[in-house]
Every structure is written in structure tokens, then in C-alpha cells.
Amino acid sequence: MKKILIVEDDQAVKKLLETAFREYGFNFVLSENKKNAMMMFLTHNPDLLIVDLGLPDGDGKDLIKEVRDISKIPIIVVTARHDEKEIVASLDKGADDYITKPFSVNELLARVRANLRRNIDGEKLKETITCGELELNLPSRNISLKGEILKLTPIEYELLKYFLLNTNKTLTHKQILKEVWGAGYQNEMQYLRTYVNTLRKKIEQNSTRPNYIKTESGIGYRFCCGFLEEK
Ligand code: CA
């Protein structure tokens, strides 16, 4: 059974999370502040962390950093407002995903499942990765769509590979540029936009209404599989 550590001081949200996780058979532990959270993290060894950014004794982002320094578990941020700066800062500190209040239980559970799944997948060293009708074959460096190998430039391949290795995860512009283009390219937003557009033309049925590469306005992109993550 998967164990989730919830760090949240808002009573209404806490109740909602407790009810949802109990109903769907997740094991969970709760902390209302940052200090206790780190202790609970070390004692309970959770599979996933949900953290509110505004905690009574500090900033949830500091907790993200502390946990990320010692662990690779999925971290989902819960934030009160759709504050792009805060979200980007959390993702850059190592969070995997975010959800804004108020959110629905279904939305939260979809995110939790997607993040747990990715963590399991990440542990196995697989040769092929599939996402919807896309398949990445790592040894041959081929990516196919509906069984047909896509003609990709080296950068397009690297970008699509990075997306396929990080599906259902919100990736900031900075993260993608750093991982695909390398350090020093973090601010070259136009590169990224251009390549996302060409990739969309190659993989999306309708590149103006993409199903795979979703834009997270002001934040970055999320690569979706199977269209399950629709809000
Ligand atoms: Ca709070």
C-alpha cells in the first residue's frame, strides 16, 4: 500500500484530502507544519509528498528543497492561488506537479496516480516507453507514431525523448531548456517555443488543439499520455 505524507495546515483542505485518500485506499500521514513534516518524512518513508506552500512555520518551498536533496519521491505542491512565480519556483526546487485550490478530489487523485506511476516506471530501466500512440525505443533512438517512425532532427528527438521520460509532469521552460539544450540556454524561450511548434505538427492530430504537449500558461509544458489528465 502506497503511503502519502500530507503537509497542510488548512483544515478544510486537510479534511478533503483525508476523506479522499481514505476512500481510495491510500495510507497517509499528516503534518500541519514544516518542522514536523521533515521528521515524519524521515520516520515514515512515504511514496509521495503533498505540500502546501504556505505553512505556519515557514515556506513549503524550503521543505521541497530539503526533501529533494535526499529523495526522489514525487512531490505535489498545493497552492492557494494560481501564482505562476510560486509554482515555477516550486518546480525548479524539485517539485513534480502542482494543484491549485480549490481543486476536485478527482483531479487530485489523477495527479497522485500519475505521479506514483511515473515513479514506479522510472525505477525500471526500460528499452521502450509508450505514451498514447507514441513509442520511444531508446537503444535505436527511434520514436514512432502509430507504428511509423517519425523523422526528427537531433534536437526534436532530444526534446520529445525528454517529454516521454517525464510524462504527466509539469516541466518549467527553464528545466526543459537546461535538460535538452544544456546549461546556459535556460532563458532561450524562443528556441523552446519553436521546437514545440514543430513537434506538435509532427505528433498532434490538430497542432492548435494539442493532446500531447499541453501548454501550462506562464509556467511551461506538460506532456500527457492517453488524455487521462483532462481537467
Ligand atoms: Ca496553508
Place of cell 479534511: 15
Distance 5 CA to ligand 1 centre (A): 15
Give the full edge-to-edge strand order of the sheet including 134-137: 128-131, 134-137, 142-145, 148-149
Instruction: Give the residue ranges of DSSP H helices in 58-188.
Output: 60-70, 84-92, 105-123, 154-165, 173-180
Q: Which amino acid is at 35?
A: K
What is the pLDDT, as a whole number, of residue 142? 96
**Interior angle at CA 45, CA 40 and CA 46, nearest 5:** 90
**Interior angle at CA 179, CA 84 and CA 171, nearest 5:** 30
Q: Which amino acid is at 185?
A: Y
In CATH, what class is 128-229? mainly alpha
The band of 122, judged by pLDDT with boundaries at 50, 70 and 90, is low
Phi and psi at 153, nearest 5°, equal -75, 165
Distance 13 CA to ligand 1 centre (A): 9
**Interior angle at CA 74, CA 35 and CA 138, nearest 5:** 150
Distance 86 CA to ligand 1 centre (A): 14
Q: Is the pLDDT of residue 123 over 60?
A: no
Distance 37 CA to ligand 1 centre (A): 14
What is the pLDDT, as a whole number, of residue 120? 64
What is the pLDDT, as a whole number, of residue 117? 80
Distance 172 CA to ligand 1 centre (A): 23
Distance 33 CA to ligand 1 centre (A): 9
Distance 79 CA to ligand 1 centre (A): 8
**Interior angle at CA 158, CA 152 and CA 164, nearest 5:** 100
Distance 220 CA to ligand 1 centre (A): 25
- Rounded to an integer, the average pLDDT of 113-123 is 73
Domain residue ranges in the chain: 3-118, 128-229
Long-range contacts of 16-21 (CB under 8 A, 24+ apart): 16/105, 17/50, 17/108, 19/105, 20/105, 20/108, 20/109
Distance, CA of 207 to chain centre:
22
Q: What is the mean pLDDT of the chain?
A: 90
Report the half-sphere exposure of 114 (CA within 13 A, side-chain side): 26
46-94 pLDDT per residue, tens: 999 999 999 999 999 999 999 999 999 999 999 887 788 999 999 999 9
In CATH, what class is 3-118? alpha beta
Helix (H) or strand (E) holding 77: strand 75-79
